[in-house]
Structure 1
Amino acid sequence: MAKPPAQRSSRTEIDQFLRKRRDIVEFVDRQPRLMFCLDATASRQPTWDRASHLQREMFLAVNQSGSLSVQLCYYRGFGEFQATGWTGDSQKLAANMGRVSCEGGHTQIERLLEHALREHGRSRVRALVFIGDAIEEHPDRLCRLAGQCGLRGLPLFIFQEGELRDAERCFRRMCQLSGGAWARFDQNSPGTLAALLSAVASFAAGGVAALEKQGNESAKLLLEQLKP
C-alpha cells in the first residue's frame, strides 16, 4: 500500500524557523563569553567527583538568568581535546560537565590556549578559567601564548589543585602575562573552588565592578591581582 505524501512545510513556516534560529544564534553571540577549561588527566582522579559536583552547582547557581555563554573545554587521554559549543543553558552545561571523566595522558595546555585565541579572534571571550594541577610542557611556550592572550584582552584565571612548585611558578607567570589571576585549592577546601569560580563568572558577566560587589575573600584575592 502506497504511503500518503509527507506534509511539506510552507515557505512561511520555513522562513519563521530560520528567523527564530538566527535570533537564537545572535542572542548567544551577544552574551558575555566565558571559556571553562579542565585538565581531565588521571592525576586529578582522586578529587574529580567532588570538584565536578562543585563546578556544576556553581554554574547552575550563577547562570540561572542565562547571562553568560559558556564553552566547556577539556583534555585527557592520548591527545584527546574536546570543546563544546557555546551555550547559555546552565542545565545543558552541567550535563556536559557530568559526562567528563578522567583518563591518563599528558597535559595539553598549549593546545588549549591556541584554541582559546582562535575563539577569541572570532568573538571576544571575557575570561578563561583553567583548573589543573600540573604542567608537562615547555613553560616558555605557555608563557608566550599567555602573553598573546594578554595583548588581545583575554585574561587567564588559573586555579591550581595541589602544590607542585614548578607548576605554580608557571601558572602564576601565565596569569600575570595575560592580566588574570591565580589561586590554589585542594580537596580539604572545596568551598574555595566554588567561591573562586563564582567570582570569575561574575567578572565575565559584569567586569571588575561586578567582582567588587561580591566583597568576599575570593573576589578580593582576584581583584588584588587584577589591579595594575
Structure 2
Amino acid sequence: MILEQLNMLDSISDRESHTYRITHYLLENRHSIIEYKVNDILKDLDISKSTLRRYSIDLGYKNFTAVQYQLYYELSTRPLYRSCQYDESLWDKIKDKKRIVVLGDESSLAPLLVYKQIFRDTKIPIDFQLYQSLPMKQLIQLNVTSDDIVFFVSLFHSNLGFELGYLDEYITLMESLEQRNIEHIYIGKVAKKKELNENYIEIDERCIADRIHHLCMIFENIYGILDNIQM
C-alpha cells in the first residue's frame, strides 16, 4: 500500500533528504498529483529525473508515473473513515492548536501510523516523528511553537526511564517547552507522577496488546473529536 509507505517515510526520513522532500510533496499534493507533469515536479523540487526515478524504484515501482497512478487509485477507492469515539477532555487540550506533533520510538509509533493518513483531512494536522538523540533540536527543526501541542509516546519506557537517559535531555526539554508555553502531554508507562503536573495519560501496562490498544484508543478519540467538528 503506497499510502502506508509514504506515511512511514514521511515520519522517519531526514527532513533535508530528497526522500523526505519527494514524499512530503506527494502527500501534500496527493489529491491532484495524478495531473502533475514530471518536469513540473522536477522544477518544484529542484531535483534530477534520475533522483525521482531512483525514488520510484525504491518504492517498488518502475517509474514515477506508476507511483502517481497507484496513489490516485488508493485515494479514489479508499472508504471514508468515521470514528465512533469522542473525548471532550482531550478536546479542551487541542481545540486551539494548529498542529499535533507526536514523538516516539519506532515500536511506539508503528501502531499509530494508520492515523497519519486519516488525520490529513482533519482541521488539525498531525506530525509523527521518531525520537532523535537531540529532541530539542528536533522540535526546533519542526518549528514547534505555542500554537502546537506535543505528545511524547512510549509503550515500553516509563517517564522515569526517560529521565534516566533513554531520551537525552528529557528534563531540560520539558523545562524548555514550559518556558516557551508549548503544551505537552506524556502518553505511556508512568513510574512517577508528581513531576508530570497532570501532563500525562497513563497507558495500561498489563500486557503489550493492552498497551497498544490503549494507545490507539487515545488517538482514536482525538481523531473522533476532529472528525465530529467537521461533519
Short-chain TM bin: 0.3 to 0.5
Larger radius of gyration: 1
**More strand as a share of residues:** 1
TM-score, normalising length from structure 2?
0.41
